[in-house]
């Protein structure tokens, strides 16, 4: 058995519910690459995981919701930002599985307008509270106390808990890298690098698979947020906890993780001009939509690295699109201001 089939067999032993359309396509961005003057950029379409407009959390939830089902949960308590893609995809997973969903949504920089992901939370039937605690340890505490409240009311609650859900969610991105590796092999391509927007489970799962499969190219995690902790340390810890769950004798050190926080801009969820340029360029060369909080910023990082001359025109790059497009609608004003108008054809 080679490393790839061994890793896949270990992952397949874990409880899992089927939620995502897999494998997601790997597509060549011909016109986008030409507009940058090379290298050849490929896109892994995890925005097409399918459930309620897709994204990376639908992969995560295949493993997390399996636990909720196994524990006989009748209520899932989850939380993140008011325009959270995570919460929207979790609300959708709960709807699919017939489990109630209650969300704690941090107000943050966004007004709590019923638009974008919040509108979808409504449609999907999740109940929610808009709260003042910022994303991170304070919101985590609020989720824990809300889950405890519902338990006292007699509900069987499965709740977001950073310590337990992160490693399990990460495993779904080890699976994603297996999938991508097979697709690259059939295209006979060895990329020079892979880019993704992550500061958590998604990047940790990729790091674990990269090490296990001994892939020679770096995985660049472009941060959407600056966490109040050391992100390299955190991702390596998550990856190593995932390795334990898989009984895998592999360890990932912080030095083996590439993190780039230069594209966050003013803050989490606030679009930058470079992000908007990336959204516009991919839309107008390929008809593919990025989002203003995550994938637009990650693509701005890739574009910046290309323009800095890091890659030759004959090399290949992979960009993993992690979804998030519903947030475009919640950022209408910023988008209208920042996007250049298309001129009338002559």
Ligand X SMILES: Cc1ncc(COP(=O)(O)O)c(C=O)c1O
Selected binder of ligand X within 203, 269, 271, 296 (CB under 6 A): 203
- Collapsed DSSP state (helix, strand, coil) of residue 94: helix
- Collapsed DSSP state (helix, strand, coil) of residue 225: coil
From the centroid of its chain, how far is CA 305? 21
Please tell me whether residue 326 binds ligand X under the rule CB under 6 A: no
Site for ligand X in 290-319 (CB under 6 A): 291, 294-295
Please tell me whether residue 90 binds ligand X under the rule CB under 6 A: no
Query: Residues in contact with ligand X, total (CB under 6 A)?
Result: 17
Residues 161, 168: Cα–Cα separation, whole Å: 11
**Residue 295: CB minimum distance to ligand X, A:** 6
Nearer Cβ to ligand X (3/334): 334
Please tell me whether residue 322 binds ligand X under the rule CB under 6 A: yes
Residue 194, Cβ density class (10 Å: 0-12 exposed, 13-18 middle, ≥19 buried): buried
The Cβ of residue 134 has, within 10 Å, a number of other Cβ atoms equal to 14
Please tell me whether residue 200 binds ligand X under the rule CB under 6 A: yes
Which 8-state DSSP code applies to residue 114?
A: S
Please tell me whether residue 117 binds ligand X under the rule CB under 6 A: no
**Residue 86: CB minimum distance to ligand X, A:** 4
CA neighbor of 60 nearest in space, from 74, 71, 46: 46
Selected binder of ligand X within 108, 191, 199, 301 (CB under 6 A): 199
Q: Are 239 and 208 in contact (CB under 8 A)?
A: yes
Please tell me whether residue 39 binds ligand X under the rule CB under 6 A: no
Selected binder of ligand X within 85, 146, 172, 331 (CB under 6 A): 85
Q: Are 89 and 37 in contact (CB under 8 A)?
A: no
CA neighbor of 117 nearest in space, from 196, 55, 75, 24: 55
**Residue 201: CB minimum distance to ligand X, A:** 4
The Cβ of residue 200 has, within 10 Å, a number of other Cβ atoms equal to 24
Selected binder of ligand X within 33, 180, 201, 272 (CB under 6 A): 201
Nearer Cβ to ligand X (183/322): 322
Nearer Cβ to ligand X (39/323): 323
Please tell me whether residue 183 binds ligand X under the rule CB under 6 A: no
Nearer Cβ to ligand X (40/264): 264
Residues 263, 108: Cα–Cα separation, whole Å: 19
Q: Are 219 and 208 in contact (CB under 8 A)?
A: no
Please tell me whether residue 197 binds ligand X under the rule CB under 6 A: yes
Nearer Cβ to ligand X (197/208): 197
Please tell me whether residue 58 binds ligand X under the rule CB under 6 A: no
Please tell me whether residue 61 binds ligand X under the rule CB under 6 A: no
Residue 89 phi, psi (nearest 5): -70, -30
Q: How far is CA 346 from CA 36, 82, 255, 341, in A?
A: 25, 43, 53, 15
Please tell me whether residue 177 binds ligand X under the rule CB under 6 A: no
Contact track, ligand X, 122-141, x by CB under 6 A: --------------------
Please tell me whether residue 279 binds ligand X under the rule CB under 6 A: no
Residues 280, 270: Cα–Cα separation, whole Å: 16
Helices (H), strands (E): how many in the chain?
Answer: 13, 10
Which range of residues in 20-28, 30-38, 200-208, 246-254 is near ligand X by CB under 6 A? 200-208
Question: Using CB under 6 A as the criterion, which residues of the chain lie in contact with ligand X when the complex forms?
Answer: 55-56, 85-86, 197-203, 291, 294-295, 322-324
């Amino acid at each position: 058995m080679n490393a790839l089939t061994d890793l896949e067999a270990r992952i397949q032993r874990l409880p899992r519910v089927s939620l995502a359309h897999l494998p997601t396509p790997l597509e060549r961005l011909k016109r986008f690459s030409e507009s940058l003057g090379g290298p050849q950029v490929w896109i892994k379409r995890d925005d097409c995981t399918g459930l309620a407009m897709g994204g990376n959390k639908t992969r995560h939830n295949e493993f997390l919701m399996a636990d909720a089902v196994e524990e006989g949960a009748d209520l899932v308590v989850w939380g993140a930002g008011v325009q959270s893609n995570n919460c929207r995809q979790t609300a959708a997973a709960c709807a699919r599985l017939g489990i109630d969903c209650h969300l704690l949504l941090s107000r943050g920089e966004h007004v709590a307008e019923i638009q974008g992901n919040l509108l979808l939370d409504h449609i999907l039937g999740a109940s929610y509270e808009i709260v003042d605690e910022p994303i991170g340890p304070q919101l985590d505490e609020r989720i824990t106390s809300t889950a405890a409240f519902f338990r006292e009311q007699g509900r069987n609650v499965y709740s977001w808990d950073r310590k337990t859900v992160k490693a399990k969610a990460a495993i779904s991105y080890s699976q994603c890298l297996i999938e991508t590796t097979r697709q690259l092999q059939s295209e006979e391509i060895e990329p020079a690098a892979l880019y993704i927007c992550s500061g958590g489970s998604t990047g940790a799962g990729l790091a674990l698979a990269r090490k296990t499969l001994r892939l020679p190219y770096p995985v660049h995690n472009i941060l959407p947020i600056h966490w109040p902790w050391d992100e390299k340390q955190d991702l390596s810890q998550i990856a190593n906890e995932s390795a334990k769950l898989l009984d895998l004798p592999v360890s990932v050190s912080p030095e083996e993780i590439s993190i780039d926080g230069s594209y966050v801009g003013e803050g989490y969820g606030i679009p930058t001009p470079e992000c908007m340029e990336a959204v516009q360029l991919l839309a107008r060369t390929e008809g593919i939509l990025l989002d203003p909080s995550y994938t637009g910023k990650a693509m701005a990082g890739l574009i910046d690295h290309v323009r800095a001359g890091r890659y030759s025109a004959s090399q290949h790059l992979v960009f993993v699109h992690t979804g998030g497009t519903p947030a475009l609608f919640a950022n209408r004003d910023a988008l209208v201001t920042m996007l250049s108008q298309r001129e009338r054809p002559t």
